[in-house]
Structure 1
Amino acid sequence: MKPFLLLATRAEDLPADEEYALFLRYTGLSEAQLVRRRLEAEPLGDIDLDDWSGIFVGGGPFNASDPPERKSAVQHRVEQEISVLLDEVIARDFPFFGACYGIGTVGAHEGALIDGTHREPISVVEVTRTAAGAADPLLAGLPDTFAAFVGHKEAITVLPSSATLLVRGTACPVQMFRVGRNVYATQFHPECDVEGISTRIRAYADYGYFAAGELDLTLAAVRRLPVTHTGGILRAFAERYAR
């Protein structure tokens, strides 16, 4: 089969490597079948979509809604590279799955309003499939309401007309959407488990996701409910689009 491509942006090796391991685990792919490119370390270069089964974009500390003057040169480069890639992905309706930071990249490309209105502290929340979500093959077999890991400073406030809402939340209305038939994005983290998100909590303790002195509270918050269904979404994507 043609491999899948994982585009990563985490500069810290421990959470970056753990994220890759989690994508491998939940997709069921081997390292040869899921090739990682760390965009914070080097430019993406030319990507021929015909070489790949599909593309994943992982999470990271970048925020699409940050004012331009606050974005680093690396963030500007990464955003430009992914935007150019999405031009072809959207035009061809090529299999694409963006998680957390990935929802910002697709949303920004499609003209969504992204701001801090629906930010969520790092925790576990319950989210709910829409009617379109219940009919979507990636969400088949999931309960209508399921638990998911979240933690983000921005979110989509106004969904673009090109997008179909698949999963909604209470504090954050847009939790998952699809553009066309094959381009997906989630605000929640389908690639996480308790250990993985705990690693990120410690690694990004000074990044403004929670206040000083709230480390233990945040570590406890991701254990408030068991998260058992979201990893299956990644496996369903890999199985559906492997070619």
Structure 2
Amino acid sequence: MKPFLILQLRPETEAADNEYEAFLSKGGLTPADTHRIRLDQEVLPPDLDLSVYAGTIVGGGPGCVSDPDAAKPPVEKRIEDAVMSLMPEITARDLPFLGCCYGIGILAHHLGGAVSKARYGEPVGTSTCHLTDAGRSDPLLAGCPDSFDAFVGHKEAAQNLPPGATHLLRSDACPFQMIRHGSHVYATQFHPEADPQVFHLRIDIYKHRGYFPPETADALHAMVDAADVHAPERILKNFVARYG
């Protein structure tokens, strides 16, 4: 099996390591099945050949594509530029790609869609996602119910369906929860790798990053404990099974 390229954008080591472990466990992968690059610490190899990988998975992060470049910390700007540099080849060649949370901003922006904080941001919590007609027949959503809860928390969102994209999942608060470009390029607004343990850690790590008032952290932990989130991880399983 070709390895999967996993690109991580989180500069917090504990969060990055936990996210990587979640990708492995939810996707049924081992470290030997992946090539992991933490973009806060490494630059993309100049001779990177995407064809040697079964697919590319991009994790989440605290950055926002829609922020003015001058307002972005240098490390976040460098990370964003690195991922964006791959998108022309990925979309032109229709290479297997799964962008998680931050990844939908990357894909939508690359395709010429509007990404901003004007509408559709969601507080940290769960969002009930609904399959569209196209989603019901998409292989990455095989085995998912028509409606299911997923963990979310994002300040920006796609404001419209990007040109050339197919709409797969929606929610009442954020209409574009999952999209596809071509046959193999996917992105989700929610976190398909996140389970309660993962989200507990992120609440603690990001409670001072503007996602929620820090004093509400205990209530969010209680919400996570009460949540019933199982279906999203099937998307990762299906991605690995389809392209591995």
When normalised by structure 1's length, the TM-score is 0.97
Confirm or deny: 8 A CA contact 2:111 2:162 kept in the other structure: yes
1:1-243 → structure 2 map (5 Å cutoff): 1-46=1-46, 47-116=48-117, 117-242=119-244
Per-residue deviation, residues 100-145 of structure 1 (Å, max 9, x unmatched): 0111111111111111111101101211000000010011121100
Q: Distance in 2 between matches of 1:181 and 1:192?
A: 25
Residue 204 of structure 1 and its aligned partner are, at CA, apart by 0.6
Confirm or deny: 8 A CA contact 2:57 2:99 kept in the other structure: yes
Confirm or deny: 8 A CA contact 2:136 2:142 kept in the other structure: yes
Q: Distance in 1 between matches of 2:180 and 2:154?
A: 20
Q: Distance in 1 between matches of 2:205 and 2:121?
A: 19
Confirm or deny: 8 A CA contact 2:149 2:231 kept in the other structure: yes
Per-residue deviation, residues 169-218 of structure 1 (Å, max 9, x unmatched): 00011000000000000001000010101101100110000013111122
Which range moved further: 170-179 or 35-44?
A: 35-44
Identical pairs, percent: 46
Q: Any idea what SS the aligned residue of 1:234 has?
A: helix
Confirm or deny: 8 A CA contact 1:59 1:100 kept in the other structure: yes
Q: Distance in 2 between matches of 1:170 and 1:217?
A: 23
Confirm or deny: 8 A CA contact 1:164 1:179 kept in the other structure: yes
Residue 80 of structure 1 and its aligned partner are, at CA, apart by 1.9
Confirm or deny: 8 A CA contact 1:210 1:218 kept in the other structure: no
Letter of the 2:228 partner, please give it. Answer: P
Q: Distance in 2 between matches of 1:135 and 1:12?
A: 37
Q: Any idea what SS the aligned residue of 1:217 has?
A: helix
Confirm or deny: 8 A CA contact 2:57 2:97 kept in the other structure: yes
Letter of the 1:183 partner, please give it. Answer: V
Unaligned runs of 5+ in 1: none
When normalised by structure 2's length, the TM-score is 0.97
Equivalent pairs, count: 242
Residue 222 of structure 1 and its aligned partner are, at CA, apart by 2.4
Provide the aligned C-alpha RMSD in A. 1.0
Unaligned runs of 5+ in 2: none
Residue 240 of structure 1 and its aligned partner are, at CA, apart by 0.3
Q: Distance in 1 between matches of 2:35 and 2:116?
A: 31
Residue 220 of structure 1 and its aligned partner are, at CA, apart by 2.1
Residue 153 of structure 1 and its aligned partner are, at CA, apart by 0.6
Residue 148 of structure 1 and its aligned partner are, at CA, apart by 0.5
Q: Distance in 2 between matches of 1:223 and 1:63?
A: 28
